[in-house]
Structure 1
Amino acid sequence: MQETGNTKKFAELFSELEDCNEEEQKQNIGEMNGVIDGMNEEEFNSIFTTELFDEIQTMIEKKKITMENAFYLLKRIGYCKAFKHADVYGFEESSLNFRFEKMIENEDKKKEINNENLLIDLYECYVSLNDEFASTEFLSIIVPRLLKVASIKEESEEVQKKVEMALLALSDIGSYV
């Protein structure tokens, strides 16, 4: 595919992430999320490849990006994937996917992640970025937590966005079973 304004801008912003502090990363990712929103399906599919997800994994591993900021970007990718009816072919085979699966397995066994919001972000990213589920074992871990979030009745805008993301992730699960 020929490079477009959206793909070029996304690549520029992505390459700058490693050199930013945490707050600058968040601002940069906010701008990236706007670019993602403007992408057409072809642009979207050309950007979100195994290589990109592997790079995100490497950045997390080397502490070049925080997990929270990575989730901020990945949740937007999953959200747009659903609404653009696009595919993210590269996630399932990426090292980031395998990291997420390991985190989910470890969390189920050890209950290590003390931050409930971070755990929900993990589950939403995992569900929304995978095109197929490898195991129903993960569903038994993920679905109850996402249902709990989806059932929150609080009306603040922040909580409603969490509920919307949980419902979106749950709606993707139907195609796996």
Structure 2
Amino acid sequence: MEMCDEDKSNGNVQGPSLEDKFSKLFDQLEHYNESEQKHKIEEMNEIIDGMNKVEWKSVFKAELFDEIHTMVKEKKMSMENAILLLKHAGYCKALKNVWSLGFNDSEMRRRFEKMIFEEEKKKEEKDDKLIVDLCECYLSLSGNFTSHLL
């Protein structure tokens, strides 16, 4: 992925920041159908890959997680697409060892807790993949557990 920081060869002014690129794509998500959203989320995940710790923390605040929660609640985004985005964000958070509590203060965290609890409570027809995905998102986005694992 090519980053648009600055063209050092001819001194051009920098292009849009990674945060701006991510925000622009995120703001447009609700206007796409599920498959188009998936494609846009894949683009967003590429942007996340290029973010440093400061950029990641400036994007992934409680407000963003709350907006994702609202979009899922209002059926403007599927839970599958939300997990696709959040799982990658959590992976990058852990990989970059970012300390951030934005997820902990969000409605999305509470939604994940409720979904995990309800899925585990089922006697039959548990969706094990869903439980694993939810737990992976939850753990990777909560607190700073990664520094203890390294």
- What band does the TM-score fall into relative to the shorter chain? 0.7 to 0.9
**DSSP-derived class of the 1:63 partner:** coil
- Measured against aligned partners, the alpha-carbon deviations of 1:65-123 in whole angstroms (never above 9, x if no partner) come to 00111000001111100111112321001000011111122222225774332221111
- Gaps in structure 2 of 5+ consecutive residues: 1-15
- Distance across 1 between alignment mates of 2:110 and 2:124: 18
- Gaps in structure 1 of 5+ consecutive residues: 133-171
For 1:159, the equivalent position in structure 2 comes to none
For 1:57, the equivalent position in structure 2 comes to 69
Q: CA deviation at 1:30?
A: 0.2
Match of 1:32 among 22, 44, 56: 44
For 1:44, the equivalent position in structure 2 comes to 56
8 Å CA contact 1:127, 1:173 repeated in 2: no
Q: Decide whether aligned partners of structure 1 residues 46 and 74 sit closer, same or farther in structure 2, where only a CA change above 3 A counts.
A: same
8 Å CA contact 1:57, 1:95 repeated in 2: yes
Paired amino acid for 1:110: K
**DSSP-derived class of the 1:72 partner:** helix
Report the more deviating stretch, 105-114 or 11-20: 105-114
- Measured against aligned partners, the alpha-carbon deviations of 1:30-87 in whole angstroms (never above 9, x if no partner) come to 0000000001111011110000000000000001000111000001111100111112
- Percentage of identical aligned residues: 51
- Distance across 1 between alignment mates of 2:98 and 2:140: 11
8 Å CA contact 1:18, 1:64 repeated in 2: yes
Q: CA RMSD in A?
A: 2.0
TM-score by length of 1: 0.70
Structure number with larger C-alpha Rg: 2
TM-score by length of 2: 0.82
Match of 2:27 among 15, 28, 39: 15
Match of 1:67 among 73, 79, 89: 79
| Greater relative contact order (Cα < 8 A, sep 6+) | 2
